[in-house]
Amino acid sequence: MRNLLILGAGTAGTMMANKLRKELSTEDWNITIVDQYKTHYYQPGFLFIPFGIYKKEDVVKPKSDFFPIGVNVIYSKIDKIVPEENKVLLDEGQVLKYDYLIIATGTKTSPEEVEGLKGSQWNKSVFDFYTIEGSVALAEFFKSWKGGKLVVNVAELPYKCPVAPLEFVFLADAFFTERGMRDKVDITLATPLPGAFTKPKATKLLGGLLEEKNIKIIPDYNISSLDNEQKTIVDYGGTVIPFDCLVTVPTNKGDDMLERSGMGDDLNFVPTDKNTLKAENYDNIFVLGDASNIPTSKAGSVAHFASEILTENILCSIEGRPMTASFDGHANCYIVTGHGKGTLIDFNYTTEPLPGNFPMPGIGPFGLLKITRMNYYGKMLFRWIYWHVLLKGKEMPISANMTMVGKKL
């Protein structure tokens, strides 16, 4: 009997448990998945909670709903991986041996990385919307807020779901407009990026939207500290921004367990081959989702596309064949732009987001780099797809690697 071990039962780990249980015979392979938490959060839904569009109940289900029959589930913290001995130590002293290991422990926010960020104003006038606690606290705050300076700040690159801060400011603009108090709210986005996005065509569209909605952007902003008494942030360049409400996207780091295992980079992300998804330096360890350092977005869509490549490569590796599948960095992001509309971007390591239709050329129904109602429905419909299709590892009618079909250069 051989052992395949998956660390982390979020989007990436759960998908792999489902896919591999179908592929690997139960007579030859044990599959075990480990996670310290019992609740699965639909993380794309956190964005909507501050604006009252979703409530906590809308984004929560037990993890156990999504594991297939025939997978061992262990709820425990992980102490560390000992890759030289092909074993994982759990917190309670339990030792798990593996033949193959998949690291899918994701990324988490670390507000401690910026001086003063998690200080006396935390969850009073300083909030995040990348945790359920933060987005619920912000929803409460917005209910009675009289307006003032709303500053959205991204602390550091890379961070999960790169378009979320843009969606946040678009939704804030719509929310305060609908409440008849937009003139009392001054919205600023301070980001380390050189503009609204990194690639030219998407930056043009999204930057234009910010201007149209009277949202100020301060690019190349690298926060150094927060002053809780003055309610200001300052960056390394010396630029001070006062706020009445600060919404932060804190530094993202991989799991501390990877630091203890000596397997992470300086942000605890695991050095990973961007095409095969194998951990560099280890032949029987693979990395899926936000836990890796591959140069693409940290997003569920990426984990989903990469899961198909990883399944194929693990099977190749187990059978002693060369790994035949190669990931191209494919990401696909619905971007809510406010007032029931949205846009869509589809891109990979080498191709920037281009205009066109998706997934069918000329038909769509979704428009790439266009602002449409249908794109918004796509985003809202996605929650159902996530729970019922994606997590369970079922086939989706979208190819794992990006296609140029339907795109216009």
Question: Torsion over CA of 205, 206, 211 and 212, rounded to 10 degrees?
Answer: 70
DSSP lists the bridge partners of residue 343 as: 335
* Omega of the bond leading into 50 within 30 degrees of 0 (cis): no
Residues 12-35 as b or e (16 or more Cβ within 10 Å = b) = bbbbbbbbbbeebeeeebbbbbbb
CB nearer to another protein: pick between 96 and 331: 331
Q: How many residues bind another protein (CB under 8 A)?
A: 20
CB nearer to another protein: pick between 133 and 280: 280
Contact map string, positions 254 to 293, toward another protein, x by CB under 8 A: ------------xx--------------------------
Cβ atoms of residues 72 and 256 within 8 Å:
no
* Rounded Cα gap, residues 114 and 225, in angstroms: 6
What strand order describes the sheet that includes 240-242? Answer: 223-227, 232-235, 240-242
Shortest Å distance, C-beta 357 to another protein: 24
Site membership for another protein, residue 207 (CB under 8 A): no
Cβ neighbours of 375 (radius 10 Å): 24
Site membership for another protein, residue 197 (CB under 8 A): yes
Stretch that binds another protein, among 16-24, 100-108, 155-163, 338-346 (CB under 8 A): 155-163
Residues 6+ apart with CB under 8 A from 85: none
CB nearer to another protein: pick between 216 and 274: 274
* Nearest by Cα to 167 from 345, 287, 28: 345
Q: Identify the residue among 67, 159, 282, 382 touching another protein (CB under 8 A).
A: 159
- Which single residue is written with the structure tokens 């029931």? 340
Shortest Å distance, C-beta 237 to another protein: 6
Stretch that binds another protein, among 44-52, 152-160, 303-311, 355-363 (CB under 8 A): 152-160
* Rounded Cα gap, residues 206 and 108, in angstroms: 26
Q: Identify the residue among 119, 158, 242, 361 touching another protein (CB under 8 A).
A: 158
Shortest Å distance, C-beta 258 to another protein: 16
Q: Identify the residue among 147, 192, 207, 361 touching another protein (CB under 8 A).
A: 192
Site membership for another protein, residue 156 (CB under 8 A): yes
Shortest Å distance, C-beta 222 to another protein: 6
Residues 6+ apart with CB under 8 A from 44: 161, 300, 379, 382, 383, 386
CB nearer to another protein: pick between 188 and 297: 297
Shortest Å distance, C-beta 350 to another protein: 11
Q: Identify the residue among 85, 212, 220, 230 touching another protein (CB under 8 A).
A: 220
DSSP lists the bridge partners of residue 249 as: 154
Q: Identify the residue among 180, 237, 362, 397 touching another protein (CB under 8 A).
A: 237
Could you list the residues that contact another protein (CB under 8 A)?
Answer: 156-159, 162, 192-194, 197-198, 220, 222, 224, 236-237, 266-267, 295-297
